[in-house]
Amino acid sequence: LEAKEEFSHKTLAMDVMRPRRNDPPLTVITQDSMTVEDVESIINETTYSGYPVVVSRESQRLVGFVLRRDLIISIENARKKQDGIVSTSIIYFTDHSPPLPPSSPSMLKLRSILDLSPFTVTDQTPMEIVVDIFRKLGLRQCLVTHNGKLLGIITKKDVLKHIAQLANQDPDSILFN
Ligand code: ADP
């Protein structure tokens, strides 16, 4: 098998990542514009283990990654123990709080639970390399970008499914090559 030919039907990160072509977009949290209530509804309406944090929905610039369980604990704690935290409080992951009118409720800073350097690959990365990275670094998830914009996510389970699929296809590819 020629190296070049082999390369031409290699699976890429974009083929394995979620969302798939007709799926709803990735569920993300913005860095300084969502309320406690907004984030609580994301937690209640989805079961994902974590959420990418972006500068804004329009920019889709990745800021970090936050785990669902850390969000749940921190919001619960803040609602109980932190003065002035209500459903309409803004949650921010930035260093400084966003400028808001003086009449706004207290804001909730959650920078401490943000993973500021989640692992990322570009959408064109061959899955062979992605699998290797997952194995070697023991990743739970990896984010996928294109031109610096967040595009998707690949979890450890997605990688395992991909490997299982390859194993099933192998007999055929041996026959046909
Ligand atoms: P697992 O893959 O272990 O079940 P998750 O529950 O986090 O982990 O993810 C379930 C599926 O949803 C996976 O296929 C994953 O790629 C996708 N996914 C994970 N996080 C998000 C997200 N924030 N938005 C959209 N899809 C996601």
Residue 172's pLDDT is what? 57
Q: Are 76 and 61 in contact (CB under 8 A)?
A: no
Distance between CA atoms of residues 87 and 97, nearest Å? 17
Residue 2 reports pLDDT greater than 60: no
Complex ipTM: 0.98
Q: Is the CB of 47 inside a 6 Å radius of any atom of ligand 1?
A: yes
Nearest CA to ligand 1 atom 12: 48
Distance between CA atoms of residues 177 and 173, nearest Å? 6
What dihedral angle (degrees, nearest 10) is formed by the CA atoms of 166, 146, 133, 125?
A: 50
pLDDT in tens, 103-160: 999 999 999 999 999 999 999 999 999 999 999 999 999 999 999 999 999 999 999 9
pLDDT in tens, 42-77: 999 999 999 999 999 999 999 999 999 999 999 999
Read off the pTM: 0.91
Paired sense of beta strands 29-30 and 34-35, if any: unpaired
From the CA of 153, give the closest atom in ligand 1.
16
For the chain, what's the residue count? 177
* Residue 132 CB partners (closer than 8 Å, separation 6+): none
Mutate which of 43, 47, 153, 165 for ligand 1 pocket (most atoms within 8 A of beta carbon): 153
Tokens at 25, concatenated: 């977009």
